[in-house]
Amino acid sequence: MRRAFLVGAVLAACAFAVVGVAAGAAGYSAQPSIFSASSQRLSACHRNVPPLIHDGFPEPPLRYSRNGVLETTLRASVSAVRINHQRVVTMNYDGSYPSPALVICDGDTLIVHVINDLDQPTNLHTHGFHVSPSGHSDNIFVRINPGHTFTYVYHLPYDNDPGSYWYHPHLHMFVEGQIFAGMAGPIVVEGGLDRDPALRTFPQRWIFLTQTQVKDGKTVPASQAQGPKSPIYVNGDLNPSLRIRPGQIQRWRIFNANADRIVDLRLAGQPFRVLARDGNTLRRPLIVRDLLIGPGSRADVLVRGGRRGNYTLKALPFEQFPGANDVKKGGWVPNQTLLTVRSTGRRMNDRFPTGALPVPPWHPDLRGQHIDRRRTIVFSEMNTSPTNTNFLLNGQMFDPNHTLVTMKLGALEQWTLVNTNTEWHTFHIHINPFQVVSVAGKRVPYVDYQDNVAMPPKSKVVILMRPTDFTGKFVFHCHVTFHEDHGMMAVVQVVRKLTAGQARASTGQQGGFEVASSAEGSTTVPAMLTVQQFEFYCHLHHIFATPSSALSGIRLQPA
Ligand SMILES: [Cu+2]
Protein backbone atom coordinates (compact mmCIF):
# COMPACT_ATOMS: atom_id res chain seq x y z
CA MET A 1 0.00 0.00 0.00
CA ARG A 2 2.75 2.32 1.00
CA ARG A 3 4.64 1.36 -2.15
CA ALA A 4 1.58 2.13 -4.25
CA PHE A 5 1.40 5.56 -2.73
CA LEU A 6 5.05 6.11 -3.42
CA VAL A 7 4.62 5.19 -7.05
CA GLY A 8 1.59 7.42 -7.29
CA ALA A 9 3.53 10.32 -5.91
CA VAL A 10 6.30 9.67 -8.38
CA LEU A 11 3.74 9.59 -11.14
CA ALA A 12 2.34 12.88 -10.11
CA ALA A 13 5.55 14.73 -9.75
CA CYS A 14 8.46 13.05 -11.48
CA ALA A 15 8.99 14.11 -15.02
CA PHE A 16 10.63 11.35 -16.95
CA ALA A 17 11.31 12.77 -20.29
CA VAL A 18 11.86 10.33 -23.00
CA VAL A 19 10.54 9.60 -26.42
CA GLY A 20 10.12 6.27 -28.07
CA VAL A 21 10.43 6.76 -31.77
CA ALA A 22 12.37 3.92 -33.28
CA ALA A 23 14.34 4.91 -36.31
CA GLY A 24 17.38 3.85 -38.23
CA ALA A 25 20.63 5.74 -38.37
CA ALA A 26 20.46 9.05 -40.12
CA GLY A 27 20.92 8.79 -43.85
CA TYR A 28 24.03 10.36 -45.27
CA SER A 29 23.89 9.93 -48.96
CA ALA A 30 23.81 13.57 -49.99
CA GLN A 31 27.17 14.95 -50.98
CA PRO A 32 27.48 18.39 -49.46
CA SER A 33 28.73 21.28 -51.47
CA ILE A 34 32.22 21.89 -50.19
CA PHE A 35 33.03 25.49 -50.90
CA SER A 36 29.59 27.07 -50.77
CA ALA A 37 29.91 29.25 -47.68
CA SER A 38 33.59 29.93 -47.51
CA SER A 39 34.72 31.49 -50.73
CA GLN A 40 34.93 34.94 -49.18
CA ARG A 41 37.36 33.98 -46.42
CA LEU A 42 40.52 35.95 -45.85
CA SER A 43 43.62 33.88 -46.28
CA ALA A 44 45.19 35.88 -43.46
CA CYS A 45 42.78 34.66 -40.80
CA HIS A 46 45.57 33.10 -38.76
CA ARG A 47 47.40 36.41 -38.43
CA ASN A 48 46.75 38.80 -35.58
CA VAL A 49 46.07 36.01 -33.10
CA PRO A 50 48.16 35.32 -29.99
CA PRO A 51 51.41 33.74 -31.19
CA LEU A 52 52.03 30.10 -30.36
CA ILE A 53 55.37 29.72 -28.59
CA HIS A 54 57.77 27.36 -30.37
CA ASP A 55 60.69 26.89 -27.99
CA GLY A 56 61.11 23.15 -27.73
CA PHE A 57 58.03 22.54 -25.57
CA PRO A 58 56.43 19.46 -27.16
CA GLU A 59 53.65 20.17 -29.62
CA PRO A 60 51.69 18.09 -32.13
CA PRO A 61 52.08 18.70 -35.87
CA LEU A 62 50.08 21.81 -36.86
CA ARG A 63 47.78 21.94 -39.86
CA TYR A 64 46.35 25.36 -40.79
CA SER A 65 43.45 26.28 -43.01
CA ARG A 66 44.02 28.40 -46.13
CA ASN A 67 41.46 30.57 -47.86
CA GLY A 68 38.71 29.36 -45.57
CA VAL A 69 39.36 25.63 -45.96
CA LEU A 70 41.43 23.02 -44.21
CA GLU A 71 41.38 19.82 -46.21
CA THR A 72 43.40 17.10 -44.58
CA THR A 73 43.76 13.34 -44.24
CA LEU A 74 43.83 11.36 -41.03
CA ARG A 75 45.02 7.81 -41.54
CA ALA A 76 44.21 5.54 -38.63
CA SER A 77 46.61 2.63 -38.26
CA VAL A 78 48.57 0.57 -35.80
CA SER A 79 52.07 1.91 -36.24
CA ALA A 80 54.99 3.54 -34.44
CA VAL A 81 54.72 6.92 -32.70
CA ARG A 82 56.95 8.69 -30.18
CA ILE A 83 55.57 8.68 -26.66
CA ASN A 84 57.80 10.33 -24.10
CA HIS A 85 60.78 10.07 -26.50
CA GLN A 86 60.33 6.34 -26.99
CA ARG A 87 59.15 4.38 -29.99
CA VAL A 88 55.75 2.91 -29.20
CA VAL A 89 53.45 0.93 -31.47
CA THR A 90 49.81 1.91 -31.04
CA MET A 91 46.59 2.89 -32.81
CA ASN A 92 47.09 6.47 -33.99
CA TYR A 93 46.42 9.02 -36.71
CA ASP A 94 49.29 9.76 -39.09
CA GLY A 95 52.07 8.47 -36.82
CA SER A 96 51.68 11.22 -34.25
CA TYR A 97 50.98 11.14 -30.50
CA PRO A 98 48.95 13.17 -29.81
CA SER A 99 47.28 13.43 -33.20
CA PRO A 100 47.87 16.47 -35.43
CA ALA A 101 46.36 19.80 -34.38
CA LEU A 102 43.83 21.19 -36.85
CA VAL A 103 43.82 24.98 -36.83
CA ILE A 104 41.00 26.78 -38.59
CA CYS A 105 39.14 30.07 -38.31
CA ASP A 106 35.56 30.94 -37.52
CA GLY A 107 33.41 30.36 -40.58
CA ASP A 108 35.90 27.97 -42.21
CA THR A 109 35.16 24.59 -43.72
CA LEU A 110 37.03 21.58 -42.40
CA ILE A 111 37.34 18.55 -44.69
CA VAL A 112 38.81 15.38 -43.23
CA HIS A 113 39.44 12.21 -45.20
CA VAL A 114 39.58 9.44 -42.62
CA ILE A 115 41.40 6.36 -43.89
CA ASN A 116 40.81 3.31 -41.75
CA ASP A 117 43.87 1.04 -41.86
CA LEU A 118 43.00 -0.47 -38.47
CA ASP A 119 41.68 -3.98 -38.07
CA GLN A 120 38.55 -2.61 -36.42
CA PRO A 121 35.87 -0.07 -37.43
CA THR A 122 36.09 3.57 -36.46
CA ASN A 123 34.66 7.01 -37.23
CA LEU A 124 35.25 10.65 -36.25
CA HIS A 125 33.63 13.18 -33.94
CA THR A 126 34.48 16.87 -33.75
CA HIS A 127 33.83 17.40 -30.05
CA GLY A 128 32.02 20.64 -29.30
CA PHE A 129 31.32 21.75 -32.87
CA HIS A 130 27.98 23.45 -33.44
CA VAL A 131 27.45 21.94 -36.90
CA SER A 132 25.02 19.64 -38.65
CA PRO A 133 24.86 16.16 -37.04
CA SER A 134 23.86 14.55 -40.34
CA GLY A 135 25.32 13.41 -43.62
CA HIS A 136 29.07 13.92 -43.90
CA SER A 137 29.11 16.39 -41.02
CA ASP A 138 29.39 15.48 -37.30
CA ASN A 139 27.50 12.24 -37.82
CA ILE A 140 28.57 9.66 -35.27
CA PHE A 141 26.29 7.00 -36.81
CA VAL A 142 28.80 6.65 -39.64
CA ARG A 143 30.84 3.44 -39.44
CA ILE A 144 34.10 3.26 -41.35
CA ASN A 145 35.05 -0.37 -41.72
CA PRO A 146 38.66 -1.56 -42.00
CA GLY A 147 40.10 -0.71 -45.39
CA HIS A 148 37.56 2.02 -46.07
CA THR A 149 37.76 5.80 -46.30
CA PHE A 150 35.14 8.36 -45.39
CA THR A 151 35.22 12.09 -46.03
CA TYR A 152 33.79 14.43 -43.40
CA VAL A 153 32.89 18.00 -44.31
CA TYR A 154 32.20 20.44 -41.48
CA HIS A 155 30.85 23.88 -42.36
CA LEU A 156 31.33 26.04 -39.28
CA PRO A 157 28.42 28.46 -38.95
CA TYR A 158 28.92 32.02 -37.71
CA ASP A 159 27.55 31.03 -34.30
CA ASN A 160 30.06 28.30 -33.55
CA ASP A 161 32.25 29.92 -30.89
CA PRO A 162 35.88 30.28 -31.86
CA GLY A 163 37.82 28.31 -29.26
CA SER A 164 39.37 25.02 -28.20
CA TYR A 165 37.86 21.78 -29.50
CA TRP A 166 39.16 18.31 -30.24
CA TYR A 167 38.52 15.25 -32.38
CA HIS A 168 38.39 11.58 -31.57
CA PRO A 169 36.64 8.38 -32.73
CA HIS A 170 33.02 7.94 -31.64
CA LEU A 171 31.98 4.46 -32.72
CA HIS A 172 30.08 2.79 -29.91
CA MET A 173 32.14 0.20 -28.01
CA PHE A 174 35.40 1.30 -29.68
CA VAL A 175 35.66 4.80 -28.20
CA GLU A 176 37.63 4.18 -25.03
CA GLY A 177 40.09 1.77 -26.64
CA GLN A 178 40.87 4.06 -29.56
CA ILE A 179 41.20 7.24 -27.50
CA PHE A 180 43.30 5.49 -24.84
CA ALA A 181 45.64 4.19 -27.54
CA GLY A 182 46.19 7.68 -28.90
CA MET A 183 43.53 8.60 -31.47
CA ALA A 184 42.78 12.16 -30.34
CA GLY A 185 43.96 15.58 -31.40
CA PRO A 186 43.21 19.25 -30.78
CA ILE A 187 41.14 21.53 -32.98
CA VAL A 188 41.61 25.25 -32.49
CA VAL A 189 39.09 27.61 -34.08
CA GLU A 190 40.72 31.03 -34.17
CA GLY A 191 38.74 34.24 -33.90
CA GLY A 192 36.67 35.70 -31.08
CA LEU A 193 38.87 36.04 -28.00
CA ASP A 194 42.00 35.77 -30.16
CA ARG A 195 41.21 39.11 -31.78
CA ASP A 196 40.59 40.91 -28.50
CA PRO A 197 43.21 43.68 -28.19
CA ALA A 198 43.54 43.06 -24.46
CA LEU A 199 44.45 39.41 -25.01
CA ARG A 200 46.13 39.31 -28.39
CA THR A 201 49.61 39.98 -27.13
CA PHE A 202 49.73 37.11 -24.62
CA PRO A 203 51.49 34.18 -26.30
CA GLN A 204 49.92 30.74 -26.24
CA ARG A 205 50.77 27.24 -25.14
CA TRP A 206 48.58 24.28 -26.05
CA ILE A 207 48.46 21.57 -23.41
CA PHE A 208 46.84 18.39 -24.68
CA LEU A 209 46.42 15.86 -21.87
CA THR A 210 46.16 12.17 -22.71
CA GLN A 211 46.36 9.05 -20.62
CA THR A 212 47.76 5.75 -21.77
CA GLN A 213 49.88 2.85 -20.58
CA VAL A 214 53.05 1.71 -22.35
CA LYS A 215 54.59 -1.73 -21.96
CA ASP A 216 57.21 -3.51 -24.08
CA GLY A 217 57.12 -0.87 -26.80
CA LYS A 218 53.34 -0.98 -27.20
CA THR A 219 50.35 0.65 -25.59
CA VAL A 220 48.32 -1.65 -23.38
CA PRO A 221 44.71 -1.99 -24.59
CA ALA A 222 42.36 0.06 -22.43
CA SER A 223 40.50 -3.08 -21.40
CA GLN A 224 43.69 -4.51 -19.86
CA ALA A 225 45.27 -1.30 -18.60
CA GLN A 226 45.80 -0.78 -14.92
CA GLY A 227 44.92 2.60 -13.53
CA PRO A 228 48.12 3.15 -11.52
CA LYS A 229 50.29 2.53 -14.54
CA SER A 230 48.43 4.95 -16.77
CA PRO A 231 50.09 8.32 -16.35
CA ILE A 232 48.93 11.51 -18.00
CA TYR A 233 51.03 12.84 -20.87
CA VAL A 234 51.36 16.46 -21.93
CA ASN A 235 51.57 16.69 -25.71
CA GLY A 236 52.98 13.16 -25.61
CA ASP A 237 55.67 13.71 -22.96
CA LEU A 238 55.89 13.06 -19.24
CA ASN A 239 56.54 16.15 -17.16
CA PRO A 240 57.94 18.39 -19.89
CA SER A 241 59.34 21.79 -18.97
CA LEU A 242 57.63 24.97 -20.01
CA ARG A 243 59.42 28.32 -19.94
CA ILE A 244 57.90 31.60 -18.91
CA ARG A 245 59.48 34.91 -17.92
CA PRO A 246 58.87 36.38 -14.48
CA GLY A 247 55.84 38.66 -14.80
CA GLN A 248 54.96 37.37 -18.27
CA ILE A 249 51.36 36.34 -18.97
CA GLN A 250 50.77 33.29 -21.14
CA ARG A 251 47.52 31.89 -22.39
CA TRP A 252 47.19 28.16 -22.06
CA ARG A 253 44.63 26.09 -23.88
CA ILE A 254 44.20 22.95 -21.77
CA PHE A 255 42.47 19.94 -23.35
CA ASN A 256 41.49 16.95 -21.23
CA ALA A 257 41.64 14.21 -23.87
CA ASN A 258 41.88 11.42 -21.30
CA ALA A 259 39.60 8.54 -22.13
CA ASP A 260 38.21 8.37 -18.62
CA ARG A 261 39.95 10.47 -16.04
CA ILE A 262 38.79 13.76 -14.56
CA VAL A 263 41.74 16.02 -13.74
CA ASP A 264 41.81 18.51 -10.90
CA LEU A 265 44.67 20.83 -11.79
CA ARG A 266 46.68 23.09 -9.53
CA LEU A 267 49.50 25.41 -10.50
CA ALA A 268 51.89 26.10 -7.64
CA GLY A 269 51.92 29.71 -6.53
CA GLN A 270 48.91 31.10 -8.39
CA PRO A 271 45.30 30.57 -9.43
CA PHE A 272 44.06 30.11 -12.99
CA ARG A 273 42.14 32.88 -14.73
CA VAL A 274 39.67 31.00 -16.89
CA LEU A 275 38.70 32.79 -20.12
CA ALA A 276 36.72 30.08 -21.85
CA ARG A 277 35.28 26.67 -21.13
CA ASP A 278 34.76 24.05 -23.86
CA GLY A 279 35.40 26.70 -26.49
CA ASN A 280 32.79 29.05 -25.06
CA THR A 281 33.95 32.46 -23.89
CA LEU A 282 33.07 33.42 -20.33
CA ARG A 283 31.45 36.75 -19.61
CA ARG A 284 34.33 37.60 -17.32
CA PRO A 285 37.43 35.69 -16.23
CA LEU A 286 36.77 33.18 -13.50
CA ILE A 287 39.56 32.91 -10.94
CA VAL A 288 40.01 29.42 -9.49
CA ARG A 289 42.78 27.80 -7.51
CA ASP A 290 41.87 24.28 -8.61
CA LEU A 291 40.69 23.70 -12.13
CA LEU A 292 38.46 20.66 -12.48
CA ILE A 293 38.33 19.42 -16.08
CA GLY A 294 36.31 16.34 -16.97
CA PRO A 295 37.35 14.04 -19.80
CA GLY A 296 36.46 15.76 -23.05
CA SER A 297 36.43 19.29 -21.61
CA ARG A 298 38.76 22.18 -22.32
CA ALA A 299 39.71 25.37 -20.51
CA ASP A 300 41.48 28.48 -21.80
CA VAL A 301 43.35 30.14 -18.95
CA LEU A 302 45.80 32.96 -18.28
CA VAL A 303 48.80 32.39 -16.03
CA ARG A 304 51.66 34.71 -15.07
CA GLY A 305 55.28 33.80 -14.48
CA GLY A 306 56.22 33.94 -10.80
CA ARG A 307 59.58 34.81 -9.32
CA ARG A 308 62.50 33.02 -10.94
CA GLY A 309 62.33 29.34 -10.11
CA ASN A 310 60.51 26.14 -10.88
CA TYR A 311 56.81 25.54 -10.32
CA THR A 312 54.66 22.47 -10.88
CA LEU A 313 51.36 21.93 -12.61
CA LYS A 314 49.83 18.96 -10.87
CA ALA A 315 46.85 16.69 -11.26
CA LEU A 316 45.71 16.49 -7.65
CA PRO A 317 44.42 13.32 -6.04
CA PHE A 318 40.78 13.09 -6.98
CA GLU A 319 38.19 10.61 -5.72
CA GLN A 320 36.54 9.94 -9.09
CA PHE A 321 35.32 6.58 -7.84
CA PRO A 322 35.62 4.95 -4.42
CA GLY A 323 39.28 3.97 -4.14
CA ALA A 324 40.41 6.20 -7.03
CA ASN A 325 43.27 7.60 -5.00
CA ASP A 326 44.37 4.28 -3.62
CA VAL A 327 46.68 2.49 -6.00
CA LYS A 328 46.15 -0.75 -4.08
CA LYS A 329 42.44 -0.54 -4.86
CA GLY A 330 43.04 -0.02 -8.57
CA GLY A 331 43.17 3.75 -8.38
CA TRP A 332 45.29 6.09 -10.47
CA VAL A 333 48.65 7.62 -9.72
CA PRO A 334 47.79 10.30 -7.21
CA ASN A 335 49.24 13.76 -7.32
CA GLN A 336 51.02 13.53 -10.66
CA THR A 337 53.23 16.39 -11.81
CA LEU A 338 52.05 17.08 -15.34
CA LEU A 339 54.63 19.68 -16.24
CA THR A 340 57.24 21.93 -14.72
CA VAL A 341 57.08 25.67 -15.26
CA ARG A 342 60.53 27.31 -15.34
CA SER A 343 60.29 31.01 -14.65
CA THR A 344 63.46 32.44 -16.08
CA GLY A 345 64.90 35.41 -17.98
CA ARG A 346 64.25 39.13 -17.93
CA ARG A 347 61.31 40.31 -15.87
CA MET A 348 58.17 41.54 -17.63
CA ASN A 349 55.26 43.59 -16.33
CA ASP A 350 52.23 42.08 -18.01
CA ARG A 351 48.91 43.01 -16.43
CA PHE A 352 45.84 40.82 -16.34
CA PRO A 353 43.02 42.39 -18.31
CA THR A 354 40.07 43.49 -16.23
CA GLY A 355 36.42 43.76 -17.13
CA ALA A 356 34.14 41.83 -19.42
CA LEU A 357 35.22 39.45 -22.17
CA PRO A 358 33.76 39.61 -25.68
CA VAL A 359 30.96 37.05 -25.35
CA PRO A 360 29.15 36.42 -28.62
CA PRO A 361 25.50 37.52 -28.69
CA TRP A 362 24.15 34.08 -29.51
CA HIS A 363 24.70 32.82 -25.96
CA PRO A 364 22.12 34.68 -23.86
CA ASP A 365 21.52 33.87 -20.21
CA LEU A 366 18.66 31.37 -20.39
CA ARG A 367 17.73 31.60 -16.73
CA GLY A 368 14.37 33.26 -16.17
CA GLN A 369 13.20 32.56 -19.71
CA HIS A 370 10.11 30.47 -20.38
CA ILE A 371 10.98 26.77 -20.22
CA ASP A 372 9.18 24.73 -22.87
CA ARG A 373 10.09 21.26 -21.59
CA ARG A 374 11.49 19.72 -18.47
CA ARG A 375 13.20 16.35 -18.51
CA THR A 376 15.05 14.16 -16.10
CA ILE A 377 17.93 11.94 -17.16
CA VAL A 378 18.97 9.34 -14.61
CA PHE A 379 22.51 7.94 -14.68
CA SER A 380 22.72 4.52 -13.05
CA GLU A 381 24.70 1.31 -13.06
CA MET A 382 23.64 -2.30 -12.81
CA ASN A 383 25.92 -5.20 -11.99
CA THR A 384 24.97 -8.11 -14.19
CA SER A 385 27.76 -10.36 -12.95
CA PRO A 386 30.77 -10.03 -10.65
CA THR A 387 32.80 -8.78 -13.63
CA ASN A 388 30.27 -6.84 -15.70
CA THR A 389 28.41 -3.61 -15.08
CA ASN A 390 25.88 -2.09 -17.43
CA PHE A 391 25.81 1.70 -17.52
CA LEU A 392 22.36 3.15 -18.05
CA LEU A 393 20.55 6.36 -18.95
CA ASN A 394 16.94 6.31 -17.78
CA GLY A 395 17.30 2.60 -17.20
CA GLN A 396 18.46 1.79 -20.71
CA MET A 397 21.67 0.90 -22.46
CA PHE A 398 22.53 2.63 -25.72
CA ASP A 399 20.55 1.52 -28.74
CA PRO A 400 21.37 3.44 -31.94
CA ASN A 401 17.95 2.55 -33.34
CA HIS A 402 16.02 3.96 -30.42
CA THR A 403 15.53 7.69 -29.96
CA LEU A 404 15.25 8.48 -26.28
CA VAL A 405 14.56 12.22 -26.55
CA THR A 406 12.92 14.36 -29.22
CA MET A 407 13.48 18.11 -28.93
CA LYS A 408 11.84 20.89 -30.88
CA LEU A 409 14.21 23.23 -32.69
CA GLY A 410 14.32 26.52 -30.82
CA ALA A 411 12.50 25.28 -27.69
CA LEU A 412 14.10 25.91 -24.31
CA GLU A 413 14.60 22.74 -22.29
CA GLN A 414 15.63 22.21 -18.70
CA TRP A 415 17.26 18.88 -17.94
CA THR A 416 17.84 17.53 -14.48
CA LEU A 417 20.75 15.08 -14.63
CA VAL A 418 20.66 12.67 -11.72
CA ASN A 419 23.77 10.73 -10.77
CA THR A 420 22.58 7.83 -8.60
CA ASN A 421 26.06 6.31 -8.20
CA THR A 422 28.99 6.62 -5.82
CA GLU A 423 31.31 7.56 -8.68
CA TRP A 424 31.46 10.62 -10.92
CA HIS A 425 29.87 10.72 -14.34
CA THR A 426 29.93 13.49 -16.90
CA PHE A 427 27.24 14.70 -19.27
CA HIS A 428 28.15 15.64 -22.82
CA ILE A 429 25.74 16.44 -25.63
CA HIS A 430 26.74 16.94 -29.22
CA ILE A 431 25.96 19.91 -31.50
CA ASN A 432 24.51 22.41 -28.97
CA PRO A 433 26.30 23.70 -25.87
CA PHE A 434 24.26 24.31 -22.73
CA GLN A 435 24.16 26.50 -19.66
CA VAL A 436 24.67 24.89 -16.25
CA VAL A 437 22.32 26.25 -13.60
CA SER A 438 23.35 24.23 -10.55
CA VAL A 439 25.62 21.39 -9.48
CA ALA A 440 24.66 19.34 -6.42
CA GLY A 441 22.06 21.94 -5.44
CA LYS A 442 24.49 24.86 -5.64
CA ARG A 443 24.02 27.51 -8.28
CA VAL A 444 27.17 27.91 -10.34
CA PRO A 445 28.93 31.31 -10.21
CA TYR A 446 28.73 31.89 -13.96
CA VAL A 447 26.13 31.88 -16.72
CA ASP A 448 28.32 30.75 -19.60
CA TYR A 449 27.94 27.80 -21.91
CA GLN A 450 29.77 24.48 -22.03
CA ASP A 451 29.41 21.15 -23.81
CA ASN A 452 30.38 18.84 -20.98
CA VAL A 453 29.75 18.93 -17.24
CA ALA A 454 31.17 16.73 -14.48
CA MET A 455 28.52 15.25 -12.19
CA PRO A 456 29.48 14.56 -8.57
CA PRO A 457 28.35 11.25 -7.01
CA LYS A 458 24.82 11.07 -5.56
CA SER A 459 23.69 14.45 -6.76
CA LYS A 460 21.95 16.26 -9.53
CA VAL A 461 23.00 18.82 -12.10
CA VAL A 462 20.48 21.17 -13.72
CA ILE A 463 21.13 22.52 -17.21
CA LEU A 464 19.32 24.70 -19.75
CA MET A 465 19.67 24.38 -23.49
CA ARG A 466 18.02 25.53 -26.65
CA PRO A 467 18.83 23.54 -29.80
CA THR A 468 19.39 25.97 -32.67
CA ASP A 469 20.12 25.82 -36.39
CA PHE A 470 20.30 22.04 -36.89
CA THR A 471 17.74 19.26 -37.00
CA GLY A 472 18.73 15.62 -37.03
CA LYS A 473 19.91 12.86 -34.76
CA PHE A 474 22.89 12.87 -32.48
CA VAL A 475 23.73 11.63 -28.98
CA PHE A 476 24.32 12.59 -25.38
CA HIS A 477 26.39 10.45 -23.05
CA CYS A 478 28.79 10.14 -20.19
CA HIS A 479 32.27 11.15 -21.36
CA VAL A 480 33.96 8.66 -19.07
CA THR A 481 34.27 6.62 -22.23
CA PHE A 482 34.36 3.27 -20.42
CA HIS A 483 30.84 4.09 -19.22
CA GLU A 484 29.83 5.35 -22.66
CA ASP A 485 31.06 2.17 -24.36
CA HIS A 486 29.18 0.10 -21.79
CA GLY A 487 25.84 1.71 -22.50
CA MET A 488 25.69 5.19 -20.97
CA MET A 489 24.65 6.97 -24.16
CA ALA A 490 21.33 7.81 -25.83
CA VAL A 491 20.02 9.12 -29.14
CA VAL A 492 18.41 12.55 -29.22
CA GLN A 493 16.78 14.09 -32.25
CA VAL A 494 15.87 17.68 -33.00
CA VAL A 495 12.86 18.26 -35.24
CA ARG A 496 11.29 21.38 -36.69
CA LYS A 497 7.78 20.25 -35.79
CA LEU A 498 6.74 17.72 -33.20
CA THR A 499 4.22 15.06 -34.16
CA ALA A 500 1.15 14.71 -31.94
CA GLY A 501 2.72 11.66 -30.34
CA GLN A 502 5.97 13.48 -29.65
CA ALA A 503 4.14 16.45 -28.20
CA ARG A 504 1.91 14.42 -25.87
CA ALA A 505 2.79 13.80 -22.29
CA SER A 506 2.45 10.10 -21.67
CA THR A 507 2.90 7.25 -19.27
CA GLY A 508 4.44 3.85 -19.54
CA GLN A 509 4.75 0.74 -17.44
CA GLN A 510 7.76 -1.28 -16.53
CA GLY A 511 8.32 -3.82 -13.82
CA GLY A 512 5.22 -2.83 -11.88
CA PHE A 513 6.03 0.86 -11.97
CA GLU A 514 4.11 3.40 -13.94
CA VAL A 515 6.06 6.44 -14.97
CA ALA A 516 4.59 9.69 -16.20
CA SER A 517 6.28 12.23 -18.39
CA SER A 518 5.55 15.90 -18.57
CA ALA A 519 7.64 16.14 -21.68
CA GLU A 520 6.82 15.21 -25.19
CA GLY A 521 6.13 11.67 -26.23
CA SER A 522 7.53 9.53 -23.49
CA THR A 523 6.81 5.94 -24.37
CA THR A 524 9.93 4.71 -22.67
CA VAL A 525 10.32 4.19 -18.98
CA PRO A 526 13.28 3.21 -16.89
CA ALA A 527 13.61 -0.53 -17.21
CA MET A 528 16.02 -1.22 -14.38
CA LEU A 529 15.21 1.35 -11.75
CA THR A 530 15.30 -0.22 -8.32
CA VAL A 531 12.99 0.80 -5.52
CA GLN A 532 15.97 2.37 -3.80
CA GLN A 533 16.83 4.41 -6.85
CA PHE A 534 13.22 5.48 -7.11
CA GLU A 535 13.15 6.64 -3.52
CA PHE A 536 16.44 8.45 -3.94
CA TYR A 537 15.02 10.11 -7.02
CA CYS A 538 11.93 11.24 -5.16
CA HIS A 539 14.00 12.53 -2.32
CA LEU A 540 16.04 14.63 -4.71
CA HIS A 541 12.85 16.15 -5.98
CA HIS A 542 11.41 16.75 -2.50
CA ILE A 543 8.36 14.76 -3.41
CA PHE A 544 7.63 13.55 0.10
CA ALA A 545 9.43 12.42 3.21
CA THR A 546 10.87 8.99 2.54
CA PRO A 547 11.58 6.76 5.56
CA SER A 548 15.24 7.18 6.29
CA SER A 549 15.78 3.42 6.38
CA ALA A 550 14.97 3.26 2.71
CA LEU A 551 17.82 5.60 2.00
CA SER A 552 20.42 3.84 4.08
CA GLY A 553 23.72 3.76 2.29
CA ILE A 554 22.86 6.75 0.15
CA ARG A 555 24.59 9.95 1.06
CA LEU A 556 22.72 12.95 -0.24
CA GLN A 557 24.17 16.24 -1.27
CA PRO A 558 22.07 19.16 -0.08
CA ALA A 559 19.51 19.77 -2.82
CU1 LIG B 1 29.92 7.85 -16.39
Q: Which amino acid would we find at residue 463?
A: I
**Distance from Cα 103 to the centre of ligand 1, integer Å:** 30
C-alpha Rg value of the chain to the nearest Å: 23
pLDDT value for 504: 62
6, part of any domain: yes
Confidence of residue 47 (pLDDT cuts 50, 70, 90): confident
Task: Assess whether 382 and 491 both reside in one domain.
Answer: yes
Of 26, 348, 86, 400, which Cα lies nearest the Cα of 214?
Answer: 86
Task: Assess whether 512 and 399 both reside in one domain.
Answer: yes
Confidence of residue 426 (pLDDT cuts 50, 70, 90): very high
54, part of any domain: no
Select the more confidently predicted residue: 267 or 11. Answer: 267
Confidence of residue 547 (pLDDT cuts 50, 70, 90): very low
**Distance from Cα 479 to the centre of ligand 1, integer Å:** 6
**Distance from Cα 483 to the centre of ligand 1, integer Å:** 5
Do 185 and 70 touch, CB atoms closer than 8 A?
A: no
Task: Assess whether 398 and 505 both reside in one domain.
Answer: yes
Which of 343, 374, 400 marks a domain boundary?
A: 343
Task: Assess whether 336 and 396 both reside in one domain.
Answer: no
**Distance from Cα 547 to the centre of ligand 1, integer Å:** 29
pTM: 0.84
Distance CA 231, CA 306 (A): 27
**Distance from Cα 357 to the centre of ligand 1, integer Å:** 33
Residue 432 has pLDDT above 90, yes or no: yes
Task: Assess whether 234 and 310 both reside in one domain.
Answer: yes
Confidence of residue 1 (pLDDT cuts 50, 70, 90): very low
488, part of any domain: yes
pLDDT value for 8: 32
Residue 343 has pLDDT above 80, yes or no: yes
Assign 465 to helix, strand or coil: strand
459, part of any domain: yes
Distance CA 91, CA 184 (A): 10
Which of 343, 378, 398 marks a domain boundary?
A: 343
Task: Assess whether 540 and 421 both reside in one domain.
Answer: yes
The count of structural domains within the chain is: 2
Task: Assess whether 443 and 384 both reside in one domain.
Answer: yes
What percent of the chain has pLDDT above 70? Answer: 82
Distance CA 342, CA 311 (A): 6
- Identify the weakest region by mean pLDDT among 5-9, 332-336, 458-462: 5-9
- Identify the weakest region by mean pLDDT among 14-23, 52-61, 178-187, 499-508: 14-23
**Distance from Cα 505 to the centre of ligand 1, integer Å:** 28
257, part of any domain: yes
71, part of any domain: no
**Distance from Cα 175 to the centre of ligand 1, integer Å:** 13
pLDDT (average), residues 95-111: 96
Task: Assess whether 404 and 265 both reside in one domain.
Answer: no
Range of the domain at 294: 226-343
Distance CA 422, CA 380 (A): 10
Task: Assess whether 461 and 319 both reside in one domain.
Answer: no
pLDDT digits (tens, 9 = 90+) for 65-85: 999 999 999 999 999 999 999
pLDDT (average), residues 338-364: 93
Distance CA 273, CA 74 (A): 34
Confidence of residue 288 (pLDDT cuts 50, 70, 90): very high
Pairing of the two strands 101-105 and 62-64: parallel
Do 212 and 179 touch, CB atoms closer than 8 A?
A: no
Distance CA 419, CA 533 (A): 10
Residue 10 has pLDDT above 80, yes or no: no
429, part of any domain: yes
CATH number of the domain within which 433 lies: 2.60.40.420
Backbone φ/ψ region at 195: left (φ over 0), alpha (ψ -120 to 50), beta = alpha
Which of 343, 377, 409 marks a domain boundary?
A: 343
> Per residue, what are the HEC states of 45-95?
CCCCCCCECCCCCCCCCEEECECCEEEEEEEEEEEEEEECCEEEEEEEECC
Q: What are phi and psi of 349, to 5 degrees?
A: -125, 50
Ion ligand 1: residues, Cβ under 5 Å = 425, 478, 480, 483
**Distance from Cα 480 to the centre of ligand 1, integer Å:** 5
DSSP 8-state code for residue 109: E
Task: Assess whether 385 and 294 both reside in one domain.
Answer: no
418, part of any domain: yes
pLDDT value for 359: 87
**Distance from Cα 57 to the centre of ligand 1, integer Å:** 33
State the average pLDDT for the chain: 84
Whether the CA torsion 256, 121, 92, 222 is positive or negative: it is: positive
Report residue 469 CA to chain centroid gap. 21
Task: Assess whether 252 and 396 both reside in one domain.
Answer: no
Distance CA 110, CA 186 (A): 13
Task: Assess whether 301 and 373 both reside in one domain.
Answer: no
